[in-house]
Amino acid sequence: MAFKDILLTLTSYPDPTPASVAEDAVAIAAAFGAHLSAVACEVHVEVPGHFLSGSTANIPGIIAGETDKSRNNARAMLATFDAAADKAGIPHESTLEKCSTYAVPDLLVDYARLRDLTIVPVPESYDQWYAEAIIFGSGRPTLVLPETSRGRPFQLGTVAVAWDFSRAAARAVSDAMPLLEKARKVRIVTVINEKNLDSRHSAEALARNLARHGIDVILDKVDADGRRIGEVLEAYTVSHKADVLVMGAYGHPRWRQFILGGATKSLLSRPPLPILFSH
């Protein structure tokens, strides 16, 4: 399946998503000839009643001010998105939703389930609640973008694939096929001496499968050498100047908390490059 219908999620509170994310999303949609939708939420902060009773602070006024801040941020971001998409000449639409702070992840998951790919910016200043919810709840691939500037626009030069013979890795390869087919170079990396790789087959078998799709790959093995797998993959993508990393997401939600695998948690908390996660 091609990526023909892409969603971009924008965060309005507590800080707005930077304009560079909209520019990257537009570049991604243009690369795939896709329609791009952006959704932003005007959030309404909820304060438990026991905090309100007996308080001398003007809590309702503070809440109203924070809601106004979120509304203004959301409208400004969507205007920036529309301008970038108009300039690039790609088909697009933007949506402003209203909901409470705690309802935002579920709302975004509902949108993501109806798209081929969802682009989620990940800030460094606070947790990755929205990204986790979409990765594990949408049933669709999620492309996580770091909000920090990388010094270069998004491109599909070198794509690295983290391969460990697992179900999650196999699903990630399948979900990433439209991306792999457009990349100029694809590298498959297997980290050894980190865990037992339960397979009778080698990475060469994956290479043969991808070759039948017209995708030539470079196979690499990297010794963990006592390092955590997240550190290994980050170092690998830097040394090979990868533009995107493809990997399976390991973990499961438990009520409002997500129990994440080591590499997933490490790379999602501070993504060094765009990462396509699949669960």
Residues of the chain with pLDDT under 50: 50-51, 254-260
- The three-class DSSP label of residue 56 is coil
Q: Name residues whose C-beta falls within 8 Å of residue 151's C-beta, 6 or more positions apart in sequence.
A: none
Q: Name residues whose C-beta falls within 8 Å of residue 71's C-beta, 6 or more positions apart in sequence.
A: 12, 42
Q: What is residue 47's predicted lDDT score, i.e. its pLDDT?
A: 62
Interior angle at CA 277, CA 203 and CA 21, nearest 5: 130
Separation between Cα atoms, residue 8 and residue 200, nearest integer Å: 39
Task: At 222, give phi and psi (nearest 5°).
Answer: -125, 130
Residue 80: both structure tokens together: 């920036």
Q: What is residue 259's predicted lDDT score, i.e. its pLDDT?
A: 43
Same fold, 5-146 and 158-273: yes
DSSP-based helix, strand, coil % in the chain, nearest 5: 40, 25, 35
DSSP letter, residue 18 = P
DSSP letter, residue 84 = H
Q: What is residue 160's predicted lDDT score, i.e. its pLDDT?
A: 97
CATH superfamily of 5-146: HUPs (3.40.50.620)
pTM value is: 0.88
Domain ranges within the chain, ordered by starting residue? 5-146, 158-273
Sign of the alpha-carbon torsion through 235, 236, 242, 245: negative
Topology of the domain comprising 158-273? Rossmann fold (3.40.50)
Q: What is residue 255's predicted lDDT score, i.e. its pLDDT?
A: 43
Q: What is residue 93's predicted lDDT score, i.e. its pLDDT?
A: 98
Q: What is residue 182's predicted lDDT score, i.e. its pLDDT?
A: 96
Residue environment code for 16-42, b if the CB has 16+ CB neighbours within 10 A, otherwise e: bbbebbbbbbbbbbeebebbbbbbbbb
CA atoms within 13 A on the CB side of 139: 5
